Structure 1
Amino acid sequence: MAEAVLRQATYADLEAVPEHRVAEIIDGVLETHPRGRPPLLGATAFSLAALLGSRMPRRRNDPDAWIFMSRSELRFGPQVLVPDLAGWRRQRLQTEPQDAFITTPPDWVCEIVSPATVRLDRGRKRRIYGEAGVGHLWLLDPAAGVLEGFALADGRWVLLATIQRGETVALPPFDAVPFPFDDLFPFDDPAAPALPET
């Protein structure tokens, strides 16, 4: 008996997804998840983007400048990914993309892990980022209060460090601008002892 051949998702399939969902094509499969994130995830992503954007050079003529984008569509061949945050060294992304997507792999990606995305973020998306040559990947889980920093070495992801609430983040490629991990969270750590009332 012949096996059924799965139809590969197309960009038309992706475009047909309702606006309230994020859509990606991963290994030929259309993957979707809710666009509206729990407030903690959105606030944490915004805090990280604002913190890095304020500490890293962004001037056009600075060789160390970075360009940061959130939820930009990346295309690596047939793969269509939408990372929560991505950063390019300006020397690698010198002109504004003319399409609604970017084909130049970022130097850094951060995925904000949630129950709806953890399977993809830790699995197939991580593999695809490595295949595309993304140099650094951060997986940030706001609910658990954990940040994992990975670097690509010889085509494999190497875990550099796991940061927890109360610790300092000094992870490549932004290890020159360390910051308290707790600065990313708008609310107190629920596991921390309560501060005395004054």
Structure 2
Amino acid sequence: MHTIPPVAPSRSPRQPTIEDWLAIPEEQRAEFINGRIVYQGMPGPMHGRTQGAIIALVRGAYDRRPGSGDRPGGWWISMEVDMEIAGLGCRPDVLGWRRDKHTTLPEPDRRGIVTVGPDWICEVLSPTTAHIDMGDKRLGYHRAGVAHYWMADPHNGTLAVLRWTAEGYLIELVAGRGDRVRAAPFDAVEIEIDELFGDVSAASSPVLGEEAGQRDAPR
């Protein structure tokens, strides 16, 4: 008589940790979101143009000591900083800290990441990543207490401005091409939405494929 050996119980794959994310080379453009390693594709031209325009508009007026000439100042502005905030491992497109709360620009810790939560984050939406920026990242930034969250969508030519409340982010405004707005926390200077997106129209870019290669690590 032949006996059938017992079947070993299956093991669930180990869940990734923040340490796993830290071990991934920076050039792989990974983020750690809700217990998953998510690989972002390389940004396309529309993404880069919009990110650069936001940096230029905000940094020029605000990235300086308050009361510096005729510009409001009062902020530290940066971009693509590796961060761990509220258990989220992320690299926001553009971000800033208020100088009245932080006398110096926050520095990375011994692991090479910043853990000081920013006061403002702006993500530039892409067809392959918009659902993350509007979903899991939005919830994570709210948990981290990020007071102001912008989402700039170059494909549709819109800017959504959100403000932190205890119940969740409140949409303060959504503006599109042709609009001129004052968007908190940078409402001392009027923003022309066309300046964020330049002369790029939605018809000039495909709905999909601006960024390629996004994938989730196996769970």
C-alpha spacing 1:87/1:158, structure 2 compared with 1 (3 Å): same
1:68 matched to 2:68? The reply is no
Measured after TM superposition, the shift of residue 59 of structure 1 is 2.4
| C-alpha RMSD of the superposition | 2.4
Identity of aligned residues (%): 33
1:114 corresponding residue in structure 2: 126
- SS of 2:100's partner is helix
Relative to 1, partners in 2 of residues 1:49 and 1:146: Cα closer, same or farther, differing over 3 Å? same
- Counterpart for residue 183 of structure 1: 195
1:10-89 equivalences in 2 (<5 Å): 10-15=17-22, 17=24, 19-34=26-41, 36-56=42-62, 58-59=64-65, 65-89=74-98
Unmatched tracts of structure 1, length 5 or more? 192-198
- Rg: which structure is higher? 2
Q: Which amino acid aligns with 1:159?
A: I
In the alignment, the residues of structure 1 paired with residue 199 and residue 162 of structure 2 have an alpha-carbon distance, to the nearest angstrom, of 26
Q: Give CA deviations for 1:40-99 in whole Å, capped at 9, x if unaligned.
A: 110111111111111125128979510111110111243211111111101323234142
Note if 1:127 corresponds to 2:134: no
Cα distance in 2 for partners of 1:175, 1:128 equals: 25
> Which stretch shifts more, 94-103 or 20-29?
94-103
1:61 & 1:97 partners in 2: Cα distance?
A: 24
Instruction: Name 2:178's counterpart in structure 1.
Output: 166
What is the CA-CA distance between 1:15 and the residue it aligns to?
A: 4.4
Number of aligned residues:
189
Amino acid at match of 2:39: T
The 1-side partners of 2:80 and 2:63 are apart by 21
**1:196 corresponding residue in structure 2:** none
Unaligned runs of 5+ in 2: 1-8, 204-219
| Higher strand content, 1 or 2 | 1
Amino acid corresponding to residue 31 of structure 2 in structure 1: E
What amino acid does structure 2 have at the position aligned with 1:45?
Q
SS in 2 for 1:51: helix
State the TM-score, normalizing by the size of structure 2: 0.77
Q: 2:151 aligns with which of 139, 147, 163?
A: 139
CA distance in 2, matches of 1:166, 1:51: 17
Matched residue, 2:103: 94
* TM-score, with length taken from structure 1: 0.85
Give the secondary structure class of the aligned counterpart of 1:91: coil
**C-alpha distance in 2, partners of 1:144/1:82?**
23
